Copies of this chain bind each other. A is one copy, B any other.
Amino acid sequence: MRLADTGELSLLQRIRERFRVNAKDLIAGIGDDSAIIVPRDYPLLLTTDMMAEGVHFDLAFTTYFQLGFKIVSVNVSDIYAMGGAPRFVLLDVAAPGSTDEEMLESFFEGVRKAMGRYRLALIGGDLSSSKALSISATLVGYARKPVTRSGARPGDRIYVTGNLGDSACGLELLKAIKKPIHIERGDRTNRPLGWETMRPLLTRHLLPEARRPGKISGVATAMIDVSDGLLIDLWRLCDESRVGARIHMMQLPISSQMKKAAYFLNLEPELLATAGGEDYEILFTASPKRRVAGAHCIGEITDSERTVVERDGTKRSFSPEGYQHWR
């Protein structure tokens, strides 16, 4: 059944039943003009991110389930990057009338899977028709002590919580594979490379899990999530903190699978790692006196110079390289 055959009301009804939730801090969720919450006595975090067909995703090699999972993860990542705990989500979905209803159900299954992972409650949203699929989510979270982008000081070490470039490399692989892989159902493929090489890269791109900073929030002087690319996001952190940064290419965490796939695809691993984007790792700074566990040190904060130290020891200035819309 296409959406055009069933309409908005019946879909709304099913979503509402499926996402029903009881919680102390929630008075009313889906089903009224607004949701009503009675927040706990903490600062509240609010963030929103959207994904548009043909820009953020290509339905030729992305499943609806994956889209649902990802729109939640990318927003949760922004809450985690403030040291917060995500709590509520609102979801806007605009889809063409020709969309199969089953596809949209599968999208909401992906949303539900992610919500379970992050323990979220869906409290509102908007369903609408459109020419191209476009999805937007707003996340609400709590943070006892939010960590902003602006607290980095010269001398602080720069860290990242996990491998860089896996997601961007996964996207390049998908462009070669040219069809959706339902990883969520156990589907796999051995072309163009072995599944064990491709699995972590495709998974990181299609079903990214936001990185929960945990104890890192307690030691970080500044945090940001790597969504558009290491260098552009580091640039943003530096701007907000009014400092510079020196990054050592040698120290970037790059997975063996990414190296292998990049070599096969004739791409530079270091370019994918520094400007690929969609890593959803946490980039943060901490005093050199603090012990930091579970993260890779990749450089240090400077007064103002912003440089990359190449593997051969040469230095170059960097600019905000990475994903910029409309460029």
- Chain A residues in the interface with B (C-beta under 8 A): 2-4, 6-9, 27-28, 31-39, 43-56, 77-79, 81-82, 84, 88, 90-92, 94-95, 97, 123-132, 134, 136, 138-141, 143, 146, 148-150, 223-225, 240, 320, 324-327
Contact = CB atoms under 8 A, between A and B. Distances in A.
Nearest to A141: B34
Contact of A126 (B49, B54, B79, B95): B49
B9 A324 contact: yes
Given A52-B130, A94-B50, A129-B52, A37 B27 contact: no
B48 A37 contact: no
B50 A44 contact: no
A279 to B, nearest CB: 14
Contact of A149 (B33, B88, B129, B134): B33
Given A50-B94, A52-B128, A327-B4, A36 B32 contact: no
Nearest to A138: B138
A140 B326 contact: no
A240 B84 contact: no
A133 to B, nearest CB: 10
A54 B130 contact: yes
A78 B123 CA distance: 14
Contact of A136 (B3, B31, B126): B126
Nearest to A78: B33
B124 A56 contact: no
A146 B7 contact: no
A53 to B, nearest CB: 7
Contacts of A51: 128
B31 A129 contact: no
Nearest to A44: B37
A48 B130 CA distance: 16
Contacts of A43: 27, 36-38
A88 B125 CA distance: 17
B132 A130 contact: yes
B47 A3 contact: no
Given A124-B46, A325-B127, A136 B92 contact: yes
A4 to B, nearest CB: 5
A33 B47 contact: yes
A146 B82 contact: no
A326 B3 contact: yes
A91 B47 CA distance: 10
28 contacts: A8-B326, A28-B148, A32-B240, A33-B82, A33-B149, A33-B225, A35-B45, A36-B45, A36-B82, A36-B143, A36-B146, A37-B44, A46-B123, A46-B140, A48-B90, A48-B124, A48-B125, A49-B126, A50-B136, A52-B94, A52-B128, A52-B130, A53-B131, A56-B128, A90-B138, A97-B326, A127-B325, A134-B134
B8 A324 contact: yes
Contact of A4 (B46, B125, B126, B326): B326
B48 A92 contact: yes
Nearest to A97: B326
B33 A126 contact: no
Nearest to A31: B240
